[in-house]
């Protein structure tokens, strides 16, 4: 018989506070506060009520809440209009909706996730101080 | 019969950020606050352009076969990329990076829209940039 892949979504409710490292084989939805590291083979959804200080790596990441930390989507990252991301973003495919807030370095494309860890982005460690626009 | 009032639009100076009205047909004007010349028309790029600065109070549209290499790109209203943009810094009201577009450079904008399939080689994004 073929191996069954988990299809259920693990949900961390809005009242949850979690500190540490989490790994998922399937999908997960964060609605509460999370601090630490998230690794997933499936999709991670950061819900509208979520506040994460986390390094997130998953096949697919949907940010609909607040994330402070680096996000890597091996396949796709989506920032909704409600998203607030302060950190570096690496993805094979990126979709950002109008209204999303994003401060950090960004690398997107088929090669972006492969080169992960070997570029200057690693040095940036999240958002760097905001530069003032060139006005001459 | 009263003469029809010419259609106006509000632009923002990319030097001093002063907002003022210009005729919708105007291509270049002087800013009434800082007296510096401004391009106010929309700029459509269809081929390769290497310049130091590309600035307009309107929109910059880089079409599929268009490519811009510049130190500074300012589209006070918007920058829409369907081709290639390589810059040190881009500033815009809204930045649209369309599915087959390629982007390299820092991005300061009030909002950004990136569509699936776009490539961002490198860049530091500040969205929304409250100084704009
Ligand atoms: Zn001015």
pLDDT at residue B34 greater than cutoff 90: yes
Complex confidence, ipTM: 0.88
* CB contact (8 A) between residue A131 and residue B106: yes
Predicted local distance difference test score (pLDDT) of residue B132: 78
* Beta strand ranges found along B13-130 (DSSP E): 19-23, 28-30, 37-39, 43-45, 48-56, 59-62, 67-81, 84-97, 102-114, 119-122, 124-127
Q: Is A45 helix (H, G, I), strand (E, B) or coil?
A: strand
Sort B6 into a burial class: Cβ within 10 Å, 0-12 / 13-18 / 19+: exposed
pLDDT at residue B21 greater than cutoff 50: yes
User: Tens of pLDDT along A104-127?
Assistant: 999 999 988 876 543 434 333 333
**Domain annotation covers residue A129:** no
User: Tens of pLDDT along A96-105?
Assistant: 999 999 999 9
What predicted TM-score, i.e. pTM, was given to this entire model?
A: 0.86
Angle at B105 (CA atoms; ends B109, A51), nearest 5 degrees: 55
What's the total number of domains in chain A?
A: 1
Predicted local distance difference test score (pLDDT) of residue A5: 53
| Average pLDDT for B72-76 | 96
Q: Between B56 and A119, where is the model more confident?
A: B56
Number of residues in chain A = 136
Tokens of B48: 């390769």
Task: State the smallest CA–CA distance between residue B6 and chain A in angstroms.
Answer: 32
| Average pLDDT for A1-20 | 78
- Residue B89 is nearest to which of A107, A134, A136, comparing CB atoms? A134
What percentage of residues in chain B have a pLDDT greater than 90?
90
Task: State the smallest CA–CA distance between residue B46 and chain A in angstroms.
Answer: 23
pLDDT, averaged across chain B: 94
Give the model's confidence band at A6: pLDDT under 50 very low, under 70 low, under 90 confident, else very high.
Answer: low
pLDDT, averaged across chain A: 83
Q: Is A124 helix (H, G, I), strand (E, B) or coil?
A: helix
Query: How many A/B residue pairs have CB atoms within 8 Å?
Result: 74
**Domain annotation covers residue A24:** yes
Predicted local distance difference test score (pLDDT) of residue B86: 98
> What domain range includes position A23?
9-108
**Domain annotation covers residue A124:** no
**Domain annotation covers residue A77:** yes
Cα(B8)–Cα(A12) distance, integer angstroms: 53
**Domain annotation covers residue A122:** no
**Domain annotation covers residue A99:** yes
| Residues facing residue A105 across a β-bridge | B124
**Domain annotation covers residue A41:** yes
| Residues facing residue B11 across a β-bridge | B20
pLDDT at residue A29 greater than cutoff 90: yes
**Domain annotation covers residue A83:** yes
């Amino acid at each position: 018989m073929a191996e069954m892949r988990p299809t259920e979504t693990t949900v961390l409710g809005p009242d949850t506070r979690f500190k540490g490292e989490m790994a998922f084989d399937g999908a997960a939805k964060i609605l509460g506060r999370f601090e630490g590291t998230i690794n997933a083979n499936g999709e991670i959804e950061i819900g509208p009520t979520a506040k994460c200080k986390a390094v997130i790596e998953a096949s697919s990441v949907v940010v609909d809440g607040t994330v402070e930390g680096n996000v890597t989507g091996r396949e796709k990252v989506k920032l909704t209009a409600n998203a607030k991301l302060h950190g570096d973003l690496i993805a094979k495919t990126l979709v950002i909706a109008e209204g999303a807030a994003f401060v950090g370095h960004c690398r997107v494309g088929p090669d972006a996730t492969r080169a992960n860890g070997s570029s200057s982005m690693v040095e940036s460690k999240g958002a760097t101080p905001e530069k003032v626009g060139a006005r001459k | 019969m009263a003469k029809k009032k010419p259609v106006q639009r509000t632009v923002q100076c990319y030097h001093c950020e002063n907002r003022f009205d210009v005729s919708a047909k105007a291509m270049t004007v002087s800013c009434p606050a800082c007296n510096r010349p401004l391009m106010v028309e929309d700029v459509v790029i269809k081929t390769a352009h290497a310049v130091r600065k590309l600035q307009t109070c309107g929109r910059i549209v880089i079409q599929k076969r268009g490519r811009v290499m510049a130190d500074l790109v300012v589209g006070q209203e918007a920058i829409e990329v369907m081709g290639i943009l390589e810059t040190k810094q881009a500033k815009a009201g809204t930045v649209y990076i369309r599915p087959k577009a390629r982007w390299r450079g820092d991005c300061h904008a009030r909002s950004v829209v990136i569509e699936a399939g776009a490539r961002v080689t490198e860049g530091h994004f500040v969205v929304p940039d409250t100084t704009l």
